[in-house]
């Protein structure tokens, strides 16, 4: 699965380089990560034993600014997966015009098996090991799968202690009490909603009454279900790692959230019938949002996909072959590097506020996020129309052109 994600990034990149006719030297630069740091993370477990975890921090490209990208704690990650995610950050920040490069990090572990104190020790030791790469003008991490504001607070504290002073600009997605921004929680979901609105407007589909299926009910999928319902959509199916629920009349977002809070899963929600999580993709709907992990939509799934529009909240949810199938079937896909950029955009706002030493209010954050997402969507849509290609191919072409401009301007040292 993981090698497939990196391959998918390279396939998209190669295609974009050909489409936009960039200098082959720049194409070659973008085909490899700038630096890959692999670290051993020894952690004293609560029973006194020591476990050694593997961790990575990858800079894919930092030509346009400091590395930016989340930190993932997951049993399935490896250097290739982290590199694929880092590359996606390079393209995402370029598409949204954010002054950042692409980075990503992670530790191979199962956080559900760690106690809170073990998780803290793991986070701090991992931070310590990747410290040479970090800094407000070098690399600014953020949360990703299985990491949250608490983990970011530990990370910031570790960096700050190492520097002998508080460095709020060293990480985003922090708690509000430590210089986090209003609107960070739910920012990715808001960006996804902005893309749903733009896509539906372009396709002349009504939002009100349209049906949506959402895979994943975490930091992105959870708030998104609320936002879709608030926008007037009927969320008919939701899944998570433990199961899926379906109700053609619509699942109630509030009741579902209560159930999830009480049980830790959407499975068993009494407001809908249980379905196999794989069936979620076949559910007849106007919209499908994959908001879980990479590789969720393969060729077979794409063949029986029941939605008209796919907006990729997750990173790399569609395999290359599946993408071809969706294209052939006329299913419009808003690609991850555009659709889920709301999180990194708001991370940029947090970093900017910390640098300014001046906190923005919620309206300003929301308004600037909407403007950034709408602008990015318009640029990608216009490029797709001009080139006569899919939104994914257009998004990558746009990103590669912006990267080429920046790399050419800086030149290849020495």
CB of 153 to ligand NAD, least distance (A): 16
CB of 189 to ligand NAD, least distance (A): 8
Interaction residues for ligand NAD, span 256-315 (CB under 6 A) = 277, 291-293, 313-315
Closest CA relative to residue 336, chosen from 80, 87, 30: 87
- Binding segment for ligand NAD (CB under 6 A), chosen from 21-29, 61-69, 212-220, 303-311, is 212-220
Closest CA relative to residue 351, chosen from 99, 109, 73, 96: 99
Spatial contact of 97 and 341, defined as CB atoms under 8 Å apart: no
Spatial contact of 272 and 283, defined as CB atoms under 8 Å apart: no
Active site residue 68: no
Catalytic residue among 68, 104, 174, 219: 104
- Spell out, one character per residue from 149 to 188, where the chain touches ligand NAD: x when CB under 6 A holds, - when not: ---------------------------------------x
Radius of gyration of the chain (CA): 20
CB of 414 to ligand NAD, least distance (A): 36
For 52, the 3-state DSSP assignment is strand
Residue 20 in the binding site for ligand NAD (CB under 6 A) = no
- Spell out, one character per residue from 310 to 349, where the chain touches ligand NAD: x when CB under 6 A holds, - when not: ---xxx------------------------x--x------
- Concatenate the DSSP letters of all residues of 159-218 into one string: HHHHHTS--GGG-SS--GGGTPPTT-TTHHHHHHHHHHHHHHHHTT--STT-EEEEE--S
Residue 145 in the binding site for ligand NAD (CB under 6 A) = yes
Residue 219 in the binding site for ligand NAD (CB under 6 A) = yes
Please identify, using beta-carbon distances, which residue of 149 and 404 lies nearer to ligand NAD.
149
Closest CA relative to residue 369, chosen from 104, 181, 217: 181
Between CA 270 and CA 293 the distance in angstroms is 26
Between CA 281 and CA 304 the distance in angstroms is 7
Active-site residue set: 104
Residues that bind ligand NAD (CB under 6 A): 143-146, 188, 215-221, 239-241, 277, 291-293, 313-315, 340, 343
């Amino acid at each position: 699965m993981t090698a497939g994600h990196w391959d998918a990034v390279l396939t998209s990149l190669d295609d974009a380089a050909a489409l936009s006719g960039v200098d082959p030297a720049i194409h070659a630069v973008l085909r490899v990560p700038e630096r890959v740091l692999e670290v051993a993370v020894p952690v004293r477990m609560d029973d006194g034993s020591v476990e050694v975890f593997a961790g990575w921090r990858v800079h894919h490209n930092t030509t346009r600014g400091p590395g930016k990208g989340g930190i993932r704690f997951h049993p399935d990650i490896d250097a290739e997966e982290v590199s694929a995610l880092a590359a996606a950050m390079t393209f995402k920040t370029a598409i949204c015009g954010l002054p950042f490069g692409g980075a990503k990090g992670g530790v191979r572990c199962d956080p559900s098996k760690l106690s809170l104190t073990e998780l803290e020790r793991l986070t701090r030791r991992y931070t310590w090991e990747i410290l040479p790469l970090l800094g407000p003008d070098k690399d600014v991490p953020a949360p990703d799968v299985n990491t949250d504001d608490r983990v970011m607070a530990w990370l910031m504290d570790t960096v700050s202690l190492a520097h002998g002073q508080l460095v709020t600009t060293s990480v985003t997605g922090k708690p509000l009490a430590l210089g986090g921004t209003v609107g960070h929680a739910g920012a990715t979901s808001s960006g996804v909603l902005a893309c749903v609105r733009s896509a539906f407007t372009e396709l002349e589909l009504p939002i009100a009454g349209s049906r949506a299926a959402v895979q994943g009910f975490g930091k992105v999928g959870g708030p998104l279900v609320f936002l879709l319902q608030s926008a007037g959509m009927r969320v008919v199916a939701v899944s998570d790692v433990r199961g899926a629920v379906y109700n053609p009349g619509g699942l109630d977002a509030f009741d579902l959230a209560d159930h999830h809070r009480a049980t830790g899963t959407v499975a068993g929600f009494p407001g809908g019938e249980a379905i196999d999580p794989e069936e979620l993709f076949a559910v007849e709907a106007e919209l499908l949002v994959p908001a879980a992990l990479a590789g969720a939509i393969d060729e077979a799934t794409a063949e029986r996909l029941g939605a008209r529009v796919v907006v990729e909240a997750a990173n790399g949810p569609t395999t290359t072959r599946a993408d071809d199938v969706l294209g052939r079937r006329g299913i419009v896909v808003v690609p991850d590097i555009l659709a889920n950029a709301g999180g990194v955009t708001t991370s940029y706002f947090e970093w900017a506020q910390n640098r300014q030493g001046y906190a923005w209010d919620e309206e300003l954050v929301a308004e600037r996020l909407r403007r950034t997402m709408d602008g990015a969507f318009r640029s990608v849509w216009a490029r797709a129309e001009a080139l006569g290609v899919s939104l994914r191919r257009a998004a990558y072409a746009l990103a590669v052109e912006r990267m080429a401009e920046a790399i050419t301007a800086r030149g290849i040292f020495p």
